[in-house]
Amino acid sequence: MAVIFPSRRVRKTPFSQGVEAAGVQGYTVYNHMLLPTFFKGVADDAEHLKKHVQVWDVSCERQVQIKGPDALKLMKLISPRDMDKMAADQCYYVPAVDQAGGMLNDPVSIKLADDHYWLSVADGDLWQYALGIAVGRGLDVEIDEPDVSPLAVQGPKADELMARVFGEIVREIKFFRYKRLPFQGQELIVARSGWSKQGGFEIYVEGSEYGMPLWDALFAAGEDLNVRAGCPNNIERIESGLLSFGSDMRRDNTPYECGLGKFCNSPDDYIGKQALREQAENGPKRQIRPLVIDGEIGACTGSWSLLANGQQVGQVASAVYSPEFEVNVAIGMVDRTHWNPGTRIEIETEHGMRLAEVQDRFWR
């Protein structure tokens, strides 16, 4: 595979210096920004993540800032989720949809004030959609990307490491809630969240100049905890059933197909509500399922078709060998006809035909 270089368009992050010094070996690009994909190796990184604590440069979770008198009004237009129930310190997972109910993104939203929201977006310029809606409807809001770069601290020792840097108070932060905590005189939002199931936090680093000082503080405080630089891990996240927008689901999928129907509970007339009505009542015709694939599978660099009697009944875009569970774990979008646990389906990998079996649940 070929190398990649940053530019102003494919941006470095406030933590790039630390990431490079830690020996990053792979990058991807996410929201026009570099995102590390592995350091020692995906399997080695996964094993370490499950035992110790890692610091992840997830600056690429860019924030769409929606601010102004009509901020809540706009949020209610683009969010199927009931925004009135959102607590002041809450992180809200919001599957944003278009007028046809198709997924545009699956951000985590944070309410900074009644007229001020951040959407921590998956890969895609959701701000352009929000801006289009705002301009089209003549809403009084400003939409931009603030200088905020999330840094994740993940793993079983994350509480201990974070307590050493931000104080014992971090232990009181509940899941998908946040506190504003000082670091070098700047108040940062610290949330208990992150794209693993190993526990941990995301620090919304507001002000690039705090990036490397915070990175260095975490590594200095965590030496005896065996802290390492890490990144979203493709083995751990598939085992955990964490969906990647753009891979596991896209605009041609609804939230119901992604198993996110419970987040479509807004009483307001959000965009796409009518289109989703039928699925809200009867369920989707296909849905995300965990799968095990037999044999050796190699890398999944695109989309693999699930086939039954020569007909496509779904596809897989995330698949990898799990050393912990000693099987090939995979995430698929599977037609209703074949989604029951135990169903065996042919799968056309880029390395040949294999057999896959639908599982009853993800591995954690």
Q: Take residue 78 and report the two structure tokens written for it.
A: 């683009």
- d(C-alpha 354, C-alpha 296), whole Å: 9
What distance lies between CA 49 and its chain's CA centroid? 17
Task: Compare residues 1 and 113 and give the one whose CB is closer to a second copy.
Answer: 1
Is residue 5 close enough to count as binding a second copy by CB under 8 A? yes
Bridge partner residues of 243 (DSSP):
none
| Contact call for residues 15 and 149 (beta carbons, < 8 A) | yes
CB of 162 to a second copy, least distance (A): 27
| Contact call for residues 346 and 364 (beta carbons, < 8 A) | no
Q: Can you spell out the DSSP letters for 52-77?
A: S-EEEE-TTS-EEEEESTTHHHHHHH
Task: Compare residues 100 and 220 and give the one whose CB is closer to a second copy.
Answer: 100
CB of 135 to a second copy, least distance (A): 5
- d(C-alpha 322, C-alpha 10), whole Å: 31
CB of 320 to a second copy, least distance (A): 11
From the list 49-57, 167-175, 241-249, 277-285, the region that binds a second copy by CB under 8 A is 241-249
Task: Compare residues 9 and 361 and give the one whose CB is closer to a second copy.
Answer: 9
CB of 107 to a second copy, least distance (A): 13
For 186: left if phi > 0, alpha if psi spans -120 to 50, otherwise beta; the answer is: beta
Residues 104-143 that bind a second copy (CB under 8 A): 104, 123-137
Task: Compare residues 222 and 314 and give the one whose CB is closer to a second copy.
Answer: 314
Is residue 317 close enough to count as binding a second copy by CB under 8 A? yes
CB of 25 to a second copy, least distance (A): 6
Which residues have a Cβ under 8 Å from the Cβ of 4 and sit 6 or more positions away? Answer: 10, 27, 29, 34
CB of 136 to a second copy, least distance (A): 2
- d(C-alpha 153, C-alpha 228), whole Å: 10
Considering only residues 186, 247, 279, 305, which one is a binding residue for a second copy as defined by CB under 8 A?
A: 247
Q: Taking the CA of residue 150 as centre, how many other CA atoms within 13 Å lie in the half-sphere pointing to its CB?
A: 29
Considering only residues 65, 233, 244, 253, which one is a binding residue for a second copy as defined by CB under 8 A?
A: 244
User: Per the annotation, does 281 bind a ligand?
Assistant: no
Which of helix, strand or coil describes residue 26?
Answer: strand
Is residue 146 close enough to count as binding a second copy by CB under 8 A? no
Site string for a second copy, 6-45 (x = CB under 8 A): xxxxxxx-----------xxxxxx--x---xx--------
Task: Compare residues 169 and 299 and give the one whose CB is closer to a second copy.
Answer: 299
Bridge partner residues of 67 (DSSP):
116, 142
- d(C-alpha 341, C-alpha 348), whole Å: 20
CB of 218 to a second copy, least distance (A): 22
Backbone angles phi and psi of 156, in degrees to 5: -60, -25
Task: List residues binding a second copy (CB under 8 A).
Answer: 1-12, 24-29, 32, 36-37, 98-99, 104, 123-137, 244-248, 271, 299-303, 317
Binding residues for substrate: 202
